[in-house]
Amino acid sequence: MNRINQFLQGIKVVDLSRHLPGPLASLMMLDLGARVIKVEPPGGEELRFIGPEGPNGYSGYFDSVNSGKLGVQLNLKTAEGRAGLLEMLQDADVMFESFRPGVLERLGLSIPLLRQEFPRLVICSLNGYGEHSPLQQAVGHDINYLAMNGVLEGTGTAEHAVAPWPPLADCSASLFGMSAVLAALLERERSGRGAHIEVALADSVMPLMLFSLVEAQQDQQGMPRGRALLNGGAARYRTYKTADDQWLALGAVEPKFWQAFCLAADHPEWIERINDGLPQTELQRELEHYFAGLTMWECEQRFGQVDCCVNRVAPLAQALNSEHIQTRALVSEQDGVMQALFPAYVDGKPPATRPPFRQP
């Protein structure tokens, strides 16, 4: 076991959440050393039945976010199931849940009751819109949260909004939830008190939009897709198609990288056009024509050793075999399940791989 896997040694997490946000948060805590108990309803949670079948007879998606956890199934609609959860929480430090506001209360497991019963427990609620919202009972998924908050309007092509992948709201809510839980555990060392943390998925994308908020403050349009510096409006931060129908990414935002690119491309006249008005459609067309005359191999020969932020748009299967990913050892297959570990090295070592999901 590496040191990063011991940071949260002794911390017990009970995870009632489903799908991606909560399970991802508890998975990352597991990588940091916590012991995680995954609580499912009878028959298993919905994620077992969504996505491609994995090596264990249910969806590989489920294993991807639950490896290393101990699974139990409880019917919280029954007195026996509720008693089982309360017993489990006796020595727990953290509880994740992802029900809509009011569901726990209807089950007889309200947040005030749990906090009174377990004053040192840190509870993290991950839900769509938050309890204090006119939308508290509304349904939604990642694409809806991005659409309502202006994210989708800035993503995609000039003609078509495209939901980004992976799901930004789900993942950001997960990581904000986990970071708040870790901070609450630290504060508990001083105060002796737990806390209730609520992270709404619809809120979680806004800290990612800081640059867009600046733009919106200056211009009511914010960062319309295909027109701003970082979402398709600039020639130097964009994807281009090569002669052999592959794609490459150009990310030469800083003047020094743009200059290096232009010189390597034998087009020094482009250097001074770095600040052409957005969207830089004419300059983009020139670069499109330029790259359309080069194969990917030719591009890599020309730009591969130049500090100008040019690289191939790699399919995931190809990326997994890259020297970078193979060397870093943070993504690998274990027991037929692909694992992506906590992306940090501590004292020069990555986290250890996780054991399989276990059920008593």
Q: Which of 15, 31, 93, 170 is catalytic?
A: 170
**Per the structure block, which two tokens stand in for 90?**
């006796």
> Is 266 in the active site?
no
- For tokens 């090596």, the residue is 55
Catalytic residue ranges? 170
